Chains A and B, each alone.
Chain A
Amino acid sequence: MSRLDDERRILEDADSTLLDLVDNVLNKGVVVTGDVVLSLAGVDLVYVRVSALLCAADRLLPPPRR
């Protein structure tokens, strides 16, 4: 399956909520600059961004523990 097909399939997938969760919560919202900047556990935000756009958040992030 080509990358295009893969991306289209993911986009057509009914549950794109995790993708939008990552994009909204990590890339949007008020930025408050403070004394202490949270280290995001070594995660490259550019990678997170690109991955989020490609809907690969489920591969990037560990599955929620229940």
Chain B
Amino acid sequence: MYVYAVVDAGADLSNVRGLSGEPVRAVACGGVAAAVGDLAGEPELTAETLKGHDEAVRRIAAVLPAVLPARFGTVLADEGALRDALGSRDEPLRSALEAVRGREQMTLRLAFAAGAPVAAEPAEGGPGLRYLEARSGTALRRRPDVAWLLDGMGDLVRAERIERIDRPPLLGTVHHLVDRGSGPAYRERLDRLRGQTPGLVSSVTGPWPPYAFVEADW
């Protein structure tokens, strides 16, 4: 049994097909359900199966307003194993479903441009706090050019997750939760704003199912 996503209890997935064209069904697990399919074997990790997983999640998202994508490669023995795995996580999964309802993800990667001065990240607090912040996305978020760019996207963004990548010139990855259908507006805004931040290089992909927002701890 292969898991594609966590969805609302009672979700109707008739006519949705999975990775190998198999029917996808919703298995109730307390206050949520898991969208699963029966695969003949375990999927191998290839570009094709990763795409297949994502496409199946997208087909599920096309018929349901709230979908929490499962990580690739989740195989369970049976429905009992699924209930054991998800049963105790009812509450957080339901909050996360509410948070992504009617929304999707855009992913923005940031790097500093060739020849651009490496702007210092403004520091606050003592050395301990600075150390922790330097490892998180907080310091990156405070870089003046990054802050200006992301603030300018603010009204389109319902939630933001930042992963710092400490490997120059890569600065980090920003995942934005946006309303479904607002991808074109997001790209248009970004195109306009990034023309004014010559020190930054950015690349955007999406819309994606909300892979980076499966926990509602933000």
Contact of B70 with A32 in the complex, beta carbons under 8 Å: yes
Write 29 A-B pairs (CB below 8 A) sorted by A numbering. Answer: A4-B114, A7-B169, A8-B201, A11-B111, A11-B170, A11-B203, A16-B205, A21-B47, A21-B54, A24-B69, A24-B107, A25-B72, A27-B71, A29-B70, A30-B3, A30-B69, A30-B71, A30-B93, A31-B70, A31-B71, A31-B74, A34-B74, A35-B77, A35-B81, A36-B76, A36-B81, A38-B42, A61-B46, A64-B48
Judge if B127 is at the interface, Cβ distance under 8 Å. Answer: no
- Interface size for chain A: under 10, 10 to 19, 20 to 34, or 35 or more residues? 35 or more
Contact with A along B175-205 (1 / 0, CB 8 A): 0000000000000000000000000010101
Q: Is the interface of B mostly helix, strand, loop or mixed?
A: mixed
Q: Considering the chains assembled together, what is the distance between the CA atoms of A30 and B73 in angstroms?
A: 11
| Distance from B82 Cβ to chain A, minimum over Cβ atoms (Å) | 7
Q: Considering the chains assembled together, what is the distance between the CA atoms of A61 and B81 in angstroms?
A: 31
Contacts of B132 in A (CB 8 A): none
Residue on B with the closest CB to A48? B45
Q: Considering the chains assembled together, what is the distance between the CA atoms of A44 and B45 in angstroms?
A: 11
- Most chain B CB atoms below 10 A, which of A7, A27, A30, A62: A30
Judge if A46 is at the interface, Cβ distance under 8 Å. Answer: no
Partner of A22, one of B5, B50, B170, B173: B50
Listed in ascending order, the chain B residues whose CB lies under 8 Å from chain A are 3, 5-6, 34, 42-48, 50-51, 53-54, 68-77, 81-82, 84-86, 93, 105, 107, 109, 111, 113-114, 165, 167-170, 173, 201, 203, 205-206, 208-209, 211-212, 214
Contact of A38 with B3 in the complex, beta carbons under 8 Å: no
Q: A28-B212, A64-B47 are in contact. Are A7 and B111 (CB under 8 A)?
A: yes
| Distance from A38 Cβ to chain B, minimum over Cβ atoms (Å) | 4
Contacts of A14 in B (CB 8 A): 203
